Structure 1
Amino acid sequence: LSERELKQYEGRYQCFASNDLGTAMTSAITLKAAASPYQRPENKEINVRTGASITVPCNYSSSNDRVITWTFQPATVTYNERIAESADGSLVFANVLGSDNGLIFYCIVKDLATRKSTDGPHYTLNVDNTVPLPDRPPTITSPVLTTEPRIVLRDDTLRMKCIATGKPVPSVRWEKLNGNSVVSWPNGRFRTEDFGRTAVISNASYGDSADYRCTATNALGEATRISKVLVHARPFFSVPENAPHDVIKTPGSNVTIRCQAEGIPAPEVEWRVNGVPIAETSPMDNRVIHPTKIRISNLKVSDSAVYQCIASNMHNSIIKQAYVNVLISMPLPVSSEDVEYVQVLGKTVEMKCNVFGSPSPAISWQKDGNKITENERFLIRKSKYLRISEVTFDDAGAYTCVATNEYGNATLSTSLTVFRRTKIQPAAQYRYFVRRGESVTMSVKVILEFVMIKYYLQWFKSDVLIGRGINYDVNNAAFTDSGSYKVMVNTSLDHAAVHLTLVVQVSRNAPLSIDIPLPPLDFYVSPKSGGSPLDVTFTWQPAEDNYSPIQEYKIEFEKDNYRPGKWFPLVDSIPGDRTSFDVTLAAGLRYKFRLWALNGIGWSEAPSAETGSAPTANPSGVSGKGNTPTNMIITWDPVSPVGRNGPEFGYQITYCTAPDCTDKEVLYVDGEVESYEVVNLPTYTQYIINIMSYNNIGNASVPQDVLGYSGEDVPLSAPSDVTVETNEDDATVVIVRWQKVDPDSVRGKVLGYIVSYETPSSNELKERSVGDTDMTGIAGLKPFTDYSFKVAVYNDYSSGPFSQSYVITTPESTPGPPSTMRLRTTTDTGAHIAWGRPQEENGDVIGYVIKFVCLNDSTEIGPISVEGTSYVTSQLRPNHMYDVTVAAQTLKGVGETANIVMSTMAGEGCHGSYSTEKTGEGVPLAAAASAGVVGEVWFIVLMCIIVLLLIIIVIVCLLRRRKGGKYSVAEKEGQLVDQESQQIKSDEYNDETDDAKKPLKSPPPVNGKSTPPDISSAVPLRTRGDSVAGDSIDAFGDDDAREFNEDGSFIGQYGAHESGESSAAATPADDNPVI
């Protein structure tokens, strides 16, 4: 196709593959029609004086990836210290020589897309040698001077060219800077090319972000140019767990799909489901979407789908997919082949029940049809594996595993065969004798019960591999060949070993003779495994017994800091067949040891001295942590004296900045030192630390690196975008959110955030610490209250500045119970109830709800809405007990109730009053008991008898007083009127509210309930006389005796008369008491 025809196919292409279970997609591919570079052929001449500097561009029309090379005629001319190609493809002559006259050169541009090449203009250089230009200092032409940093991507190769002109030809060098200091280049990744003009860093890492200085120097001076390099990164996943991956789940289970991509700049994440942006899909109640993860709970089969995560930044985008397969399947064998297991006696075997099912099937194992129960030898591991420890011949046989779930079951069969363990033994003898200079062959034989198995034989001397096979030949035997030889056989199931001894005699012509033993070999002392620092283990190789078996060993010691040169017995006798012995030493001494061997002839001629060696241990517990912002204290647990193995013991401390370790520092400290402080360090910088033991013989093994940090400092930044979300359903809880601070500004490890909140009225400050998160819930707040919230980050050193305060008012809630509920007055059909406002209003109180429940028969009056803090009713029935409840009300609803229990006065016959107070729901036990007693027949009969007796007493009193004489009725009535008038004046409006001055009339119930038919809506009350006025009760006659209370007092409230007239109510001086 022509370029014009190709243009119509330009665009972005993406492949989608779908089936019934979901849709997968590929990354998008951009297709562009490449245009071939075109250069109009032409010839050009360049006229220049000797010593001048010139830059010749390579003019090319292609914008595609290309490679530029310059060709010279004659071909003997090429790139050198004087002629270079700059980063943009131009050809640069540092200075022109007279020999350059007539030089022809041109550039060749190769288009990588079309794989076509084209030549640029052909230049001819004409050099004027008459008046050469004078020498001059260097000038750097590339890199160009700019304030923009150069961006290189992580793992790419960074190439920096430094092209300089001048006369004489400048030399060029590159340096990496840290501030004004020159730092070392990364090991193994840095090199120079093109005569030192090009610095190359392969596999660029974040630590390569720095300033790089190019310096060009000649005899007349130098020039410098600094290039700033920033290492960015395409989106990537540092660990597989952070990327989506396929999962198989069972119905009802949960799954979390993660997309925690890294990169610089930080990637943005787009979620898709079956190729469709997740925002355009139907919402799911069981799916929660976060920026970097999706959690789906209580999975259903219909939730199966392919989830795509697209992480993008300015450099690239990557797509990862996860197929969430919510599967229902009966157990199915993964393989149709039966597996046979083989093991040797005493070893462990693990057999697998290789089935798949969803939900995961329950596994049980059987042997010979009998179910296997777990015990100390039989263990079912990870619901699939049957592990048998220390197998015996009885364990051999046929095994069956049964996999069962709610959709079916599957059975798999396998078998176990148990063989005897491999044996190895000498083919002829355990001990071989040979005179010096002669040859000998040592042989072994292997006994295998399972003949089909392969085995390997190896010969060792002093733990060094010296041969293979069933035979080992020793030719021209020397004394050094004497000793113990270990022969090891290895199979796929087990291994075994045997020890042979070779004795080389002193002289070829000397007969074999019995003699004292030679000194033991390889005498070592080392810390006892699992013991205390003073517990040691001595080990050695058996001494050559010279034909008389070793009977015993003894160990002696010298305390060189106590009595040098004097040896003392440490262990007097050790059996001759031992090659190790444990001893506990005394503390605070420095020891030397030696070992003797004894056979039937005598003690060895000389002892075996303790073999000195490099330290066997490095310090443990190495850590580095700062306690000021500019230091790091390196600490460690010292090596025990036994592990030091020689004099001049000390520690080599190495530390450097992580991760590149380009500024490594090494220092040495004495073995008694346990810590070292490094000062003048940058705040909270990560360091790689290791500490290696050494003595005058050598170093211990290379220690493991640990990470340490210099000291932390006060965080610099405060969290931003603090918001507080209230909960209309629960006014005591809020959600606080904030934008996390930049980790670099914390100057330490982020331990978490502090949420501080207070009410402006109380100034009671409360704080809550949370982890490294961007939200938290705060509970226990007061409804309808102003709160101020602010957030700060904290590290191990201190907390940082607080954010700007965020002020909210918590929502309204239902109020608490009314306070001080009291019974003001009561009659036979009415009552006056008063209360105070709730202590916890929790909002704007818009009114109250009162309710009367008769305890005698459970009838109810109300609930009734009331605006004020008191209520008067006349709808009650005489001689009845009532539970009166009152609750405040806000826009959120009715709150907690306060209550009292009261009784109305008797209408005819019995008289009584009773009340109690309670805050909250329910009736007090005493009141409930009283209500029950009042309803009992015996109690009513008892009350009537008492009233009858009172009436008899009154009649007797009347009769006696009539016999006592006469008095002036008019005078007594006058006195009565005066006292009543005074009583009315003193008590008028005493405790009355506006409601109390009105007739005892109740508003209609709020819930639409009608008043019981036997209670009128307005009951006028008659004026009561005062029983204490005058000397006689005849002033009122017998007709009004029924209106007295039990205590002789009365309630002087007057109802509305039909004539419209009203009279003042005479009330008691005090409220009725509340019990």
Structure 2
Amino acid sequence: MYLLSVDVFARVLFSCIDFFWSDFISLPAAVRQPPTITKQSMKDHVVDPKETMVIECEAKGNPHPIFSWRRNGKYFNVARDSQASMRRRSGTLDIYARTNPEQYEAEYQCIASNEYGSAYSNKIRLQLYRPPVWPREVLEPVVISAGLPLVLSCDPPPGPLRPETYWMSSSFPTMRAVRQDRRVSMGVNGDLYFSNVLFNDSVADFCCNARFPFKNVIQQKMPVVVKVLPSEYESKCLPLIRSHTVAEAAPTWLSPTGSSSSTLVLLGEELLLECIAAGVPTPHITWTKDGEALVVTPRMKIKNFNKLIQIQKASFEDTGDYTCTATNRISYIEHTITVRVKAAPFWLEKPDNLILAPEESGRLVCRSDGAPRPTVSWFINGEPIETATPMPNRQVSGDMITFRSVTTENNAVYQCNASNEFGYLLANAFVNVLHATPRILWPRNEFVKVVEGSRTFLDCRYFGSPVPELRCCNHWRVGELMTL
């Protein structure tokens, strides 16, 4: 055992002070405080109506919060609904929809309240999972001349989550994945595109498969038979020569059509740009951006034989005009896709809980950005601040509320809502005006082992209102801190 040197003590002391000041706002559970939402379901919440439908809402506070719910903006009386219940000391909803589950497909919002204020969850849109089923139909064979383009539609059943699609070909008794190349490829919409069909395309049936992520269910569409006939060129010009030669054709667009289109993507979401062309020989696809050669960045992938640009997380720098060119030895065509990048609101600075002693001052800040720029609205305990009782010591200025010389009348939970046409953010922050004597929240006389010469943190959590002044003193004796 060793007595700490002055150098070691300094590292312990200053590390200790840095840690203390970063954590002083922590509020002990025993101190009276407004509610804080601690857990809630996602804004878009998909459930299976055959199982218990759970909408989560947990909160803390002192006194412990009382919970209530709104459904489609109106009070939802859970106690009078025989198929719904709230868990004990919780706002989490359990819905046992034995009959008419469709009535619960709605927008829900949880409210946690005590005598010091009310905190609100996000608006949770509950969607019912419906098993995807393709119609059991017999598809007529597709009869087509060699050399012509062909599109086989997939069109999977609708659902709340986009399925993953893939194509299989079968020639009894085997089934295998459709081999994709420059001539044959699956589009982002799930359809199967043939830039030109060949005779060997008629050796198998084609069927689209879709894997639905919610239940990991795979559904198969009824197969379609493709019959490829000799081309008109071969039938008229080469009736005695079975060379499978087809007439050359200039490129034309299969997807997208026309000479231009536009797409809008949200910041951080996946951007997919696709160009698929028909023609004989099979056209080759190249890309430019804003009139210059496309610079492939680490965020970008060129896939599907140059037909697809994939950017997993779009940024504002991806805005521009992307031109795809389809070329074969006959001719070429161009299509320009104008990309616009917008953004749902995102946080720059969320409002933090404000713990003040009487007569102190403080502020709540709610800073966000987006494209277009979000509109900021303030609420007190869920009600618009404009309709609340005016308080001379409270001033609202855009994304900031300033409090001066506070009293317990200022106790409340404030909600900040930042919205634009692509979404919203909701944050709760309480103002808690109280006078509390300083207290140490960590165990006393704790034995700490340290490595000589290393940086050491002493966890000294504390609380008080007003914020106490902290001082660390060297009262250690031999054996109270040990170096190893």
Is the TM-score greater than 0.5? Answer: yes
d(CA) in 1 for partners of 2:300, 2:224: 36
- Which one-letter code corresponds to 1:453 in the other structure? T
- What is the identity, as a one-letter code, of the residue corresponding to 1:10? E
* Distance verdict in 2 for CA 1:321–1:219, change over 3 Å: same
Asked if the contact 2:287–2:293 (Cα under 8 Å) also holds between the matched residues in 1, the reply is no
Give the TM-score normalised by the residue count of structure 1. Answer: 0.32
1:124-273 aligned within 5 A: 124-129=225-230, 131=232, 132=234, 133-145=246-258, 149-177=262-290, 180-182=291-293, 184-186=295-297, 188-238=298-348, 242-273=349-380
Distance in structure 2 (CA, Å) of the matches to 1:34 and 1:154: 28
Work out the CA distance in 2 between the residues paired with 1:48 and 1:351: 79
What's the counterpart of residue 11 of structure 2? Answer: none
Contact 1:174 1:199 in 2 (8 A): no
Q: Counterpart in 2 of 1:96?
A: 197
> Which among 8, 26, 29 is matched to residue 124 of structure 2?
29
Alpha-carbon distance, 1:311 to partner: 1.3
Structure 1 distance, partners of 2:453, 2:144, is 93
- C-alpha distance in structure 1 between counterparts of 2:389 and 2:249, whole Å: 74
1:105 aligns with 2:215: no
Question: Does residue 1:45 correspond to 2:141, yes or no?
Answer: yes
Conserved? CA contact 1:305–1:325, under 8 Å: yes
Residues 683-740 of structure 1, C-alpha deviation per residue, up to 9 Å, x if partnerless?
Answer: xxxxxxxxxxxxxxxxxxxxxxxxxxxxxxxxxxxxxxxxxxxxxxxxxxxxxxxxxx
Q: Do residues 360 (structure 1) and 446 (structure 2) align?
A: no
Q: Is the 8 A contact 2:267 2:342 kept in 1?
A: yes
Q: Write out aligned runs for 1:220-369 (5 A).
A: 220-238=330-348, 242-338=349-445, 355-361=462-468
**What SS does structure 1 have at the residue aligned with 2:100?**
helix
Query: 1:304, 1:326 within 8 Å by CA — same for their partners in 2?
Result: yes
CA deviation string 1:349-383 (max 9, x = no partner): 9999864221234xxxxxxxxxxxxxxxxxxxxx3
Distance in 1, matches of 2:455 and 2:105, equals: 64
Instruction: Give the C-alpha shift of residue 40 in structure 1.
Output: 2.6
Helix, strand or coil for the counterpart of 2:386?
helix
Quick one: which amino acid aligns to residue 138 of structure 1?
P
CA distance 1:221–1:290, shift in 2 (3 Å): same
Partner residue in 2 for 1:69: 166
1:502 alignment counterpart: none
Q: Distance in 2 between matches of 1:321 and 1:223?
A: 54
1:208 Cα deviation after fit: 1.1
> 1:8 corresponds to which residue?
103
Give 1:338 deviation, angstroms: 2.9
Contact kept, 8 Å, 2:374 with 2:419, in 1: the verdict is: yes
- 2:181 corresponding residue in structure 1: 80
Name the CA distance, whole Å, in 2 between partners of 1:266 and 1:384: 42
Structure 1 pair 305–452 and aligned structure 2 pair: CA distance change class (3 A): closer
Give the letter for the 2:128 counterpart.
Answer: A
Provide closer, same or farther for how the CA distance between residues 348 and 199 of structure 1 changes in structure 2, counting only shifts above 3 A: closer
Deviation, 1:345, is 13
- The alignment partner of 1:261 has SS state of strand
The CA deviation at 1:451 is 11
Residue 224 of structure 2, aligned match among 119, 123, 126: 123
Q: Which residue of 1 aligns with 2:62?
A: none
Equivalent-residue separation in structure 2 for 1:53 and 1:245 (angstroms): 60
Of 454, 457, 476, the match for 1:416: 476
Larger RCO (alpha carbons 8 Å, 6+ apart) = 2
Distance 2:259 2:159 in 1: 23
Q: How much has 1:320 moved relative to structure 2? A: 1.3
Q: What residue identity is the alignment partner of 1:329?
A: A
Distance 2:204 2:294 in 1: 42
Higher mean displacement: 131-140 or 55-64: 55-64
Distance 1:147 1:260, change over 3 A: farther
CA distance in 2, matches of 1:183, 1:194: 16
Alignment partners' CA distance in 2, 1:206 and 1:301: 45
Rounded Cα–Cα distance in structure 2 between residues aligned with 1:216 and 1:348:
63
Write out aligned runs for 1:544-555 (5 A): none
Distance change >3 Å, CA 451–CA 296, structure 1 → 2? closer
Alpha-carbon shift at residue 128 of structure 1 (Å): 0.9
Q: Is 1:37–1:111's contact at 8 Å kept on the other side of the alignment? A: no
Distance 1:341 1:82, change over 3 A: closer
Give the aligned residue type for 2:138: E
What is the DSSP-based 3-state SS (H/G/I as helix, E as strand, rest coil) of the residue aligned with 2:147? coil
Match of 1:795 in 2: none
Larger radius of gyration: 1
1:311-336 superposed Cα distances (whole Å, 9 cap, x missing partner)? 12222212111121112111222224
Q: Any conservation in 1 of the 2:209–2:221 contact (CA below 8 Å)?
A: yes
Establish whether residue 17 from structure 1 lines up as the match of residue 130 from structure 2. no
Alignment of structure 1 residues 587-626 onto 2, 5 Å? none
Q: Secondary structure at the match of 1:72?
A: strand
Q: Which amino acid aligns with 1:332?
A: R
Secondary structure of the 2:317 match is: helix
Count of aligned pairs: 371
Q: In structure 2, give the amino acid aligned to 1:167.
A: V
Q: C-alpha offsets along residues 530-576 of structure 1, whole Å, 9 cap, x if unaligned?
A: xxxxxxxxxxxxxxxxxxxxxxxxxxxxxxxxxxxxxxxxxxxxxxx
- Which residue does 1:385 correspond to in 2? 471
Q: Distance in 2 between matches of 1:259 and 1:360?
A: 23
Q: Which runs of 5+ in 2 are unaligned?
A: 1-48, 51-96, 235-245
Q: Secondary structure at the match of 2:476?
A: strand
Distance (Å, rounded) in 2 between the aligned partners of 1:263 and 1:158 = 18
Cα pair 1:64 1:111 within 8 Å, conserved: no
Distance 1:351 1:90, change over 3 A: closer
> In 2, distance between residues paired with 1:305 and 1:121?
60
The change in CA–CA distance for 1:135 and 1:324 in structure 2 (over 3 A counts) is: same
Q: Give the CA deviation at 1:46.
A: 0.8
Percent of aligned pairs with the same residue?
28
Per-residue CA shift, 1:717-775, capped at 9, x if unaligned?
xxxxxxxxxxxxxxxxxxxxxxxxxxxxxxxxxxxxxxxxxxxxxxxxxxxxxxxxxxx
Distance 1:105 1:234 in 2: 40
Shift of 1:138: 1.5
C-alpha distance in 2 between matches for 1:137 and 1:55: 18
> Shift of residue 56 of structure 1?
2.0
- In structure 2, the partner of 1:956 is none
Shift of 1:96: 0.7
Matches within 5 A, 1:447-596: 453-454=483-484
How far the C-alpha of 1:32 sits from its partner, in A, is: 2.7
Q: Distance in 2 between matches of 1:130 and 1:345?
A: 86
Structure 1 pair 346/385, CA: closer, same or farther in 2 (3 Å)?
farther
2:43 equivalent in structure 1: none
In the alignment, is the contact (CA less than 8 A) between 1:66 and 1:110 conserved in 2?
no
SS state at 1:237 partner = strand
Q: CA deviation at 1:120?
A: 2.7
- Assess, with a 3 A threshold, how the Cα gap between structure 1 residues 128 and 185 changes in structure 2: closer, same or farther: same
CA apart distance, 1:347: 13
Q: Which amino acid aligns with 1:255?
A: G
Q: Aligned-pair distance for 1:116? A: 4.3
Compute the displacement of 1:84 (Å): 1.3
The normalised TM-score by structure 2 is 0.69
Compared CA separation, residues 344 and 145, structure 1 to 2 (3 A):
closer
2:442–2:459: 8 Å Cα contact kept in structure 1?
A: no
